Structure 1
């Protein structure tokens, strides 16, 4: 009980520190967290609105791209922010009460809250300004978000260790991770890709996250190829591997 109490206090202190470091004491930092995704969605809406008459789903280009972009960000922003959690708080790890996992937990909580707030504000604004009534299916939305967070957390825990041990791996991961935005279904529907290429696309767990997320906003979307069992398996297997690597590298994380 004493250990848990100490753990909660440390995570709380780290959370306050991360908020101050990331957003600063002025509201401008929080505003930018909202403006950045809004600007991306607005730009994609303008570009693709000029190319095509209607989006792949529904009447709104903004909502179509927002559902893809926000769902992807629950994974991408998570890994980007958590990858450096241990390294950024290295000085604090000299204190025996601060464990490497505390830095991960603090950043995980902050990132989930930040992306959720962005999702509510951006998607809420788009839906409120649409002329077509939208019916939300919350179980699909929350399920996709949860799996994106679990998968992102697992990847980040693995990266936290491997980035320290193998600097070259950090460069390789950056190169491999960069095109995911283009091939994960943010701009297109995997259902529309002809065989056998659609089977290759569906190997990407992020595709299933985005398809599941979009099902929550488009009741008519059948999401052919969506396999939540596959997504659950990949997400929790990655998380288990991350916890295993992280646990057995505790000394390395403190002393590297």
Structure 2
């Protein structure tokens, strides 16, 4: 009886499948109600900031109702940030698996990133459904409410671009973290400011003077978030200069640099 020879693709798929199941169990059940916190965290942030902006009589931004404005932007931001942080710590959290020669650093990165995408899509649907059920439309005009995204393709393309940027940035920073562990403290300090300089929770068009807004538009995450909002409401007025091509140029560049670093330091990254 001859032994069946496995192809490289089948081996890679088996590795990804096994790691995906392990990572999913860890993310959803590593602590009590860990799965619930994945949904509660964005709801808390959205509710607090929506209430705060409405308290200051900010009811719409660029023609979009403030509640859906925050929801559309925060979903995109959270997908990017969670993908980045999960890939960032992927190598350190899976060192034991590198004892198997079939497991490579890129396997960990892609599995963690795909898992984050699988988790964020249903979370986004639930949050939007809750907002619609509570009477929040994308437009402040009660006579002509817009309940569903007007351009679903743009929403999906924007989310995919933000996800790829999170994956690429996570790969690059994970290499830096492997050689300089102290970088983790710097990254943690950046988490909170990133919420605001990315325009996820505060409208840059209202709080940043027009001559200086292009500094923020240079951030590809801002482009992805603004385009997501435009996908929800095609009549939304995004910041000047946002571009889907710019978003994907950054995504491609970060992915290529990340893959090059993983290739260059492939042996050092798996060493204990």
- What is the TM-score when the length of structure 1 is the normalising length? 0.92
1:101 maps to 106
- 1:133: how far off? 2.9
Structure 1 runs of 4+ aligned residues shifted over 6 Å read none
Is 1:228 the counterpart of 2:241 in the alignment?
A: no
Structural mapping, 1:14-29, within 5 Å:
14-24=19-29, 28-29=33-34
Q: Give the Cα–Cα distance (whole angstroms) in 2 for the partners of residues 105 and 158 of structure 1.
A: 13
Structure 2 unpaired stretches of 5+:
1-5, 137-144
Counterpart CA distance in 1 for 2:245 and 2:172 is 22
Q: Deviations over 1:156-210 (max 9, x none)?
A: 0011111011123333333345411111112344445433201111111111011
Match of 2:154 in 1: 140
Counterpart CA distance in 2 for 1:230 and 1:127 is: 31
CA distance in 2, matches of 1:25, 1:169: 25
- CA deviation vs aligned residue, 1:65-100 (integer Å, no higher than 9, x gap): 111111111110111111111110101111112222
Q: Which residue in the other structure is 2:258 paired with?
A: 242
Return the alpha-carbon distance in structure 1 between the equivalents of residues 254 and 169 of structure 2.
Answer: 6
Find the counterpart in structure 2 of residue 156 from structure 1: 170
Q: Distance in 2 between matches of 1:197 and 1:57?
A: 18
**Is this contact kept in 1: 2:196–2:202, CA < 8 A?**
no
> Do residues 4 (structure 1) and 9 (structure 2) align?
yes
Equivalent residues of 1:208, 1:231 under 8 A apart: yes
Alignment check: 8 A CA contact 1:34 1:118 kept: yes
- Higher mean Cα deviation, 41-50 or 174-183? 174-183
- Which residue matches 1:90? 95
Matched, 1:117 2:131: no
The question of whether the paired residues in 2 share the 8 Å contact of 1:63 and 1:127 is answered with no
For the 8 Å contact 1:72–1:210, the answer to whether it is kept is yes
Is 1:42 the counterpart of 2:47 in the alignment?
yes
1:57 and 1:218 in contact (8 A); partners too: no
Q: 1:26 to 1:185 in 2, by over 3 A?
A: closer
Q: What residue in structure 1 maps to residue 35 of structure 2?
A: 30
Residue 96 of structure 1 aligns to a residue in which SS?
coil
CA–CA distance in structure 1, aligned partners of residues 15 and 270 of structure 2: 16
Are positions 1:212 and 2:227 aligned together?
yes
RMSD after superposition: 2.1
Tell me by how many angstroms 1:30 deviates: 2.2
What is the aligned partner in structure 1 of residue 267 from structure 2? 251
Aligned residues: 256
Partners of 1:135 and 1:219 within 8 A in 2: no
Q: Which runs of 5+ in 1 are unaligned?
A: none
